[in-house]
Structures are given as structure tokens and as C-alpha cells.
Amino acid sequence: MNFSRIRQISPGLAICVAVAGAAYGLERIQHALLGAGFLEALVFAIIIGIVTRIVFCDRQAWRPGINFSSKTLLEIAIVLLGASISFATIMSVGLTLIIAVAAIVTLSIYVSFAVARFLGLSPRLAMLIACGNSICGNSAIVAVAPVIKANSDEVASALAFTAVLGVAAVLLLPLLYVYAGLGAAQYGALTGLTVYAVPQVLAAAAPAGLVSVQTGTVIKLLRVLMLGPVIFTLGIFEGRAAQREGRKTSFSNLVPWFIIGFMIVVVARSFGLFPPDVVKMLLKISSGLTIVAMAGLGLSVDIRTVASAGGRVILASSISLLLLVTVSYFVVISALQG
């Protein structure tokens, strides 16, 4: 990157970093006041970014840095996210459980996508909602977005309403444990199959005790591990779609560079090339870059577009989550003893 390019992106990049810093600050304030983190810093980054754009309008000088943050930094963050996955971890939970979780996630993605499309949402927004509900909420949406070429309005819509549903799931799922006659292991599996983020799984599973928390964490980890195969598959489909539409394609179009990088990091982690401290550092960097990227996303969002799709997005997300909870409930009561 030459000096001219650095000067070009600096103003917008500085704004994105400032917004990310404010988002981290709000997350800490939330923890201090409420004792828990109901909204992640990346959601705060989008909200602050949107408000900043409304107040300062769409500044031309900021655009190069905002685009760099929301695209390039996000792709680098996805590559580093591969450090969270290893083949040993995948195989340690057993082939049967892996197949069961993979089947539920796959079915959930398909059904959620169909529901969202039926409600009139665009294919890209429908896929974001499907992957967010089925895999790991915000992280899945952020990782899938550049693969399917989703725009900032679509990503913001999916993230905003998924965040609300994530909190609702944590608050409402314990009612199933109390009133549906589930055992601790069954309820833990249910939380792992349905709740979005790992901290949220811990919060939702805690009322049923340690066994529930342990079971939920393992199942949740399996869902997160589905992120790699899903984004790789979507990359292949996107490349083939480009070919059918007559767009110029190459291997990098069929499989974007950051997906290849993601898989390389997964392999490196699996062969023990990253010491534990390095893994922690890579994941912290990935998290930080993602927050900055989400700030850039918020700064590029047209709030009117997001608001216009709001009703359909929340309906599609709610129906998808309800279907996932229903299917998961019947699976766990059939497969696990209380």
C-alpha cells in the first residue's frame, strides 16, 4: 500500500476506529450497570456508525477509509477467525454428534432461507438471516456477508434484529426447562442448538446447572465449527453464479482469498503451529478488526433502507428461530436421556 493510498483511507479509517472505541466503551458500561452483556460491541459499533452518518451526513472524504474498514479489515478478521477451529476439537466430540448437529444446521439454513424468501426478502438478506439463526448469530452474518456480496444495508438489517432475538432467546428458553420437563443434559443441548453466541449459551443454560452448561457449550462449539464448511460452500455457489451470469471469473472468484486463508489458518491450528498464547492473540485481533469493520458498515448504512425492511426481517428471523427451537426440542428429547 503506497503513501497516497494511506492518505486516502486515513480519515475514514480514523472515524471507524473512533466509533469502534466508543462501542467497546458502551459494552463495558453495559457490563458494569447490568452485570451482563446483552448486546455485543459489534452491534453497538453499527448503531453508533449509523447515528454518526445521520449527524455528519455522507462525507466524501471518509468513503475510502470506510470501504477499506468494512471490506478489507473484515476479510482479514475472517482469516484470523480460523484460529478458533481445529480438527482435533471437531473429532473429539464424536462422529454421531457431529452428523446430528450438521444435519440440524443444514436443515435450519434451508428452511430459514425459504421462509425469508417467502416473506419477500432479497436472496442475500435471506441467506444472512438463515446463517445467523442456524450457526452463530452475528459472527456467522459477518463472515458470510462478503462471500455472498451482501451490501451494508442487508448486513445491518440482519445484525440488528438478530441481536434482539439473541437476547430474547436467553430470557425465554429457561421457561422450557421449567415447564417442558427437560432434563439438564437435554436442556443444555437445546440451548447449544438454538442460542446464538457462546456467552449467551452459558447464560441460558446456567439455570439447569453444570451438566447443562457443559452440554450446551459442546453443542454450541459444533455449530460454530459449521461456519467453515458453510462459507466455503457459499463461495463455490457464488462463483458458479457469476459464471452463469457471464461475469468474468477466476479461481479467486470461485473461492475468495479470505476463505482460502481461513482454511489455511484452520489447518495450521490443527497441526499445532500456533501456541495457545498466539491463538488467543489472533482471536483478539480478529475481534478488534471485526468491530472496526462493523463501524465502517454502520457508517455506510442508509437507515431508511433498513427501516423499510424491518418488519419482514424480524418476522422472518422470529419464525426461523421458532422452527429451529421446535426441531431441536424434538431431537433432544428423542436422543438424550434427562
Q: Is pLDDT at 320 greater than 60 in this prediction?
A: yes
- Say how far apart CA 209 and CA 183 lie, in whole Å: 10
Q: What band does 255 get if pLDDT is binned at 50, 70 and 90?
A: low
More confident site: 256 or 264: 264
For residue 149, give the C-alpha cell: 456480496
Whether 328 and 182 have beta carbons less than 8 Å apart is answered as: no
Name the least confident of 25-29, 138-142, 250-254, 282-286.
250-254
- Say how far apart CA 76 and CA 258 lie, in whole Å: 7
pLDDT (tens digit per residue) in 16-30: 999 999 999 998 898
For residue 36, give the C-alpha cell: 451482563
Q: What is the pLDDT of residue 314?
A: 81
In one-letter notation, the amino acid at residue 70 is S
Burial 295-304 (b: 16+ CB within 10 A, else e): bbbbbbbeee
- Say how far apart CA 192 and CA 213 lie, in whole Å: 9
pTM over the 0.95 mark: no
Instruction: Measure CA 113 to chain center.
Output: 16
Q: Is pLDDT at 213 greater than 90 in this prediction?
A: no
pLDDT (tens digit per residue) in 147-173: 888 888 888 888 776 766 777 777 788
Q: What are phi and psi of 246, to 5 degrees?
A: 80, 10
More confident site: 203 or 298: 298
- Say how far apart CA 200 and CA 178 lie, in whole Å: 18
More confident site: 42 or 126: 126
In one-letter notation, the amino acid at residue 77 is A
Q: What is the pLDDT of residue 337?
A: 58
